A and B are shown apart, each in its own frame.
Chain A
Amino acid sequence: MTLARAASVILAKELRTEFRSRELLGTTAVFVLIVMVLFSFTFNPTSSESRRFGPGLLWLGFLFAGSLMLQSSFLREQTNDTLAALRLAPIDPFSILAGKMAANFLFLLIVEVILLPVFAVLYNVAIFPVLGQLLLVLTLGTIGLAATGTVFSAVAAQARLRELLLPLLLLPVLAPVLIASTEATIGVLGQPSELSLVWLTFLACFDVVFLTAAWMVGEYLLEE
């Protein structure tokens, strides 16, 4: 069974599980919303200030929410030890990681896309003219978040205090993504809107480096 096929079967299962209850998506979206509202109390959201501070706070919100949401990725597999069931199957262990990374990427992206209009309204930013570019930045940043987060979720699942541990591990490592995504978003939302090739290429590099690292060492995390 090829890696891609096994990963897509696992992806389908993750999607089915989540869409049945939608509890993870819903809770995460609400969390980011709360973060956005709270942040808006910390400065005066006039138009120009919003454009400067808003994107950073938006991405901070995504990172915090993401690091909480990603916990469940491997914790879910600990009830009933379904991780063992996955490892019993004649599939490449990396396909388990790959399927979950893809699922987490989609979940995070969905939350982000839902909250984008809310962000636009709360901070008085015009997103529709630059929607395509925004989505590009969102995608590249979220790939890094999902890939690294899924691997670290597997790491944290083997330790104590995992609720605290995952953000502790993830946030420092993702600092470059925060910087790059924020800067790129500010550029896109600026007047005139500009798409920073440097930051986008950087994000793409980050994604490639960490996806490769995950591919090479990730499966060791699943061993017993």
Chain B
Amino acid sequence: MATAATTPAEAPSRGAISAPSILVVFLLLAAASYGALIWAPTENTMGLVQRIFYFHVSSAWTGFVSFIMVFIGSVAYLRTRAPKWDWLSVASAEVGVAFFTIVLVTGPIWAKPVWGIWWTWDARLTSSFLLWVLFVSYLVLRTLVDEPSRRAMVSAVFGIFATLDIPLVYFSIWWFRTQHPQPVIGDGGKLDARMGYVLLLCWAAMLGVMTLLIGLRYRLEAMRSEVDAYRMDAARGGR
């Protein structure tokens, strides 16, 4: 099977799972953690707990990037029908959901000590929640279709619709909040220069983690597909 033969060669080159890259990401994470927890100035009103904001916001941005990759993978799959794009889509969707889970967990952790409530339906948190639900649906859809090429096709179509929905979700929730303002829980307060640097560093670290995770998940999917192909060859040979 042509596709099976090319995957082992492809997988290592995509996703960069080599030791140096793991080291780089680890260093980035270490630097980001240091920056967020120690180097960045403490925020006036919120104190120490505000530091979680660096991870909260950078996770959201990283989640976005993951979901954009779902879009790319879905479109590419429909165009080329090459399974590797489907592997990319599912890997990106899972990693995106993971990052948005971080967003949804760090949000309340931040909010409770500072504002006394666990959850608020402010624009960003609500949008994040909806995005999370949207891509969890994508993953549920995948578990309900057994045949691989049909599953890939159906996920690609839904994936495209889901990602196109993202800006619409953000705008509608944002405009709704503008019309019905409530005390904004949102930001990390005023950002001074050092905070800005740390935020960007955190984002870079998160992007590194994202790339690693997507690469690993992609590889897993590629291997699964290879096993299936071998099984099929065996079945064919047996006749």
Contacting pair B153 A179 (CB below 8 A):
no
Complex contacts, B169 vs chain A, CB 8 Å:
175-176
In the complex where A159-B141, A161-B144, A172-B130 touch, is A220 in contact with B172 (Cβ < 8 A)? no
Mark the stretch among B19-27, B49-57, B155-163 that contacts chain A: B155-163
Shortest distance between the CB of A122 and any CB in chain B (Å): 25
Tell me how many residue pairs across A and B have CB atoms closer than 8 Å.
Answer: 82
Instruction: Convert B179-191 into 0s and 1s, putting 1 for each residue whose CB lies closer than 8 angstroms to a CB of A.
Output: 1000000000000
Q: Which residue on A lies nearest to B176, using beta carbons?
A: A179
Considering the chains assembled together, what is the distance between the CA atoms of A28 and B52 in angstroms?
47
Report if B150 contacts A (CB, 8 A).
Answer: yes
Q: How would you classify the secondary structure of chain A's contact residues: helix, strand, loop or mixed?
A: helix
Write the residues of chain A forming the contact surface with B, with a CB cutoff of 8 angstroms: 148, 151-152, 155, 158-161, 165, 168-169, 172-173, 175-176, 179-180, 183, 198-199, 202, 205-206, 209-210, 213, 217-218, 220-221, 223
Write the residues of chain B forming the contact surface with A, with a CB cutoff of 8 angstroms: 78, 130, 133-134, 137, 140-141, 144-146, 150, 153-154, 156-158, 160-162, 164-165, 168-169, 171-173, 175-176, 179
The 5 closest A-B pairs by CB, nearest first: A176-B172, A159-B144, A176-B168, A172-B134, A179-B172
Extra 15 A-B pairs, beta carbons < 8 Å, given A158-B145, A168-B141, A202-B175:
A151-B161, A155-B157, A160-B145, A165-B144, A168-B140, A172-B130, A173-B165, A175-B130, A175-B169, A176-B168, A179-B176, A183-B179, A202-B171, A210-B164, A220-B153
